[in-house]
Amino acid sequence: MPRILDGTRVRDEIKNELKPRVAALAAHGRPPGLAVALVGHDPGSEIYVRNKIKTCQELGIYSETLRPPETITTDELLRTVEELNRRGDIDGILVQLPLPKQVDAKRILLAVSPEKDVDGFHPCNVGNLVAGLPGPRACTPAGIIEMLKRYEIPMAGRRAVVVGRSDIVGKPVALLLLHQHATVTICHSKTPDLPSVCRQADILVAAIGRPAMITADYIKPGAAVIDVGMNRLDARADAARIFRNSPEKLASFDKKGNVLVGDVDPFGAAEVAGAYTPVPGGVGPLTIAMLMANTVAAAERRAGLC
């Protein structure tokens, strides 16, 4: 039986480790502060942001959600970010992606002060990551490394294959795995014979956004499979195909009208992998835990505590 890599357990460990650091900051003057800008009403983003704010409250981190209108221009959002850069009580700024089409997301991310960039998306911090210098790391990639470390899954000398080359997950997780001395391959939609490349992986990271695309024939027996996908299935035929062996999931679909699935076929992973992250409850909870860790670290740096 493969090991299930439980993201909620690791998230709770990380949160418990952060609590005394938040208390020390509060005793030093004020708690850490996080501002989240959420433009529009993307349902996925609404859920992410709600969970981020709830976790701040649990930890005693001050948080603020800004909800500019969906019609906001790049210049208006730049002014919002610049105001947050100036605020003394805000240590971390997160602009939730995706942004509406009329907004130039690259200019917005460039405007966030690198010291307050708790997403690790600013080019300065991407440069710090490439060079192995200190700085905030993108939250989902950092959470994946935390998960592998805490489950004592060796990375040094192992083959890691990352499927997906996004700026948010694929590229940064590949660099973090490289810094852990893995031999890393990045694959994407133009990679020939993807299953055979994936089958070489001791650590397989799926971050493509395609429901259950990574089936058993992509997985080396015993590999650690990290599923970053979070896809909502709305068609019953898709749910019935993917969850053919799971009456509970199908019952849940029939009740709610949709069901979540990752980029990895859950039955393929259960049959072949040595360890895998479930969806939900795998990588997702760690993204928020690492955002909290980045916010606390930014506050400590500003307070001169580290």
Kindly list the catalytic residues: 52, 96, 119
How many chain residues interact with ligand GUN (CB under 6 A)?
9
* Residue (139 or 184) nearer to ligand GUN, CB: 139
Closest approach of ligand GUN to the CB of residue 195, in Å:
27
Judged by CB under 6 A, the chain residues 93 through 132 that form the site for ligand GUN are 94-97, 119
162: left (phi over 0), alpha (psi -120 to 50) or beta: beta
CA distance to 65, 88, 301, per residue, from 304 (Å): 26, 14, 5
CA distance to 42, 107, 181, 208, per residue, from 97 (Å): 9, 13, 31, 16
* Residue (96 or 180) nearer to ligand GUN, CB: 96
Element (H, E) at 259: strand 259-261
CA distance to 118, 163, 172, per residue, from 132 (Å): 17, 22, 11
* Residue 36 β-bridge partners: 65, 94
Closest approach of ligand GUN to the CB of residue 44, in Å:
7
Closest approach of ligand GUN to the CB of residue 238, in Å:
22
Judged by CB under 6 A, the chain residues 162 through 181 that form the site for ligand GUN are 168
- What is the distance between the alpha carbons of residues 293 and 253, in angstroms, rounded to a whole number? 34
- What is the distance between the alpha carbons of residues 252 and 69, in angstroms, rounded to a whole number? 34
Closest approach of ligand GUN to the CB of residue 120, in Å:
9
* Residue (25 or 38) nearer to ligand GUN, CB: 38
Closest approach of ligand GUN to the CB of residue 258, in Å:
19
Does the protein bind ligand GUN through residue 286 (CB under 6 A)? no
* Residue (140 or 231) nearer to ligand GUN, CB: 140
* Residue (169 or 225) nearer to ligand GUN, CB: 169
Closest approach of ligand GUN to the CB of residue 42, in Å:
9
* Residue (25 or 95) nearer to ligand GUN, CB: 95
Q: Which residue of this chain has its Cβ atom nearest to ligand GUN in the complex? A: 97
Q: How far is CA 306 from the centre of its chain?
A: 25
Judged by CB under 6 A, the chain residues 225 through 284 that form the site for ligand GUN are none
Binding mask 3-42 for ligand GUN (x = CB under 6 A): ----------------------------------------
- Interacting span for ligand GUN (CB under 6 A) from 91-99, 152-160, 188-196, 272-280: 91-99
* Residue (95 or 184) nearer to ligand GUN, CB: 95
- What is the distance between the alpha carbons of residues 91 and 230, in angstroms, rounded to a whole number? 29
H helical segments located in 190-235: 194-198
- What is the distance between the alpha carbons of residues 69 and 38, in angstroms, rounded to a whole number? 9
Instruction: Read off the tokens for 215.
Output: 């089936």
* Residue 226 β-bridge partners: 205
Closest approach of ligand GUN to the CB of residue 216, in Å:
28
- Interacting span for ligand GUN (CB under 6 A) from 88-96, 125-133, 176-184, 242-250: 88-96
Instruction: Read off the tokens for 272.
Output: 């072949």
169 with 27: CB under 8 angstroms?
no
25's CB contacts (< 8 A; 6+ apart) are: 31, 32, 296, 299, 300, 303, 305
Interface ranges with ligand GUN (CB under 6 A)? 94-97, 119, 139-140, 168, 287
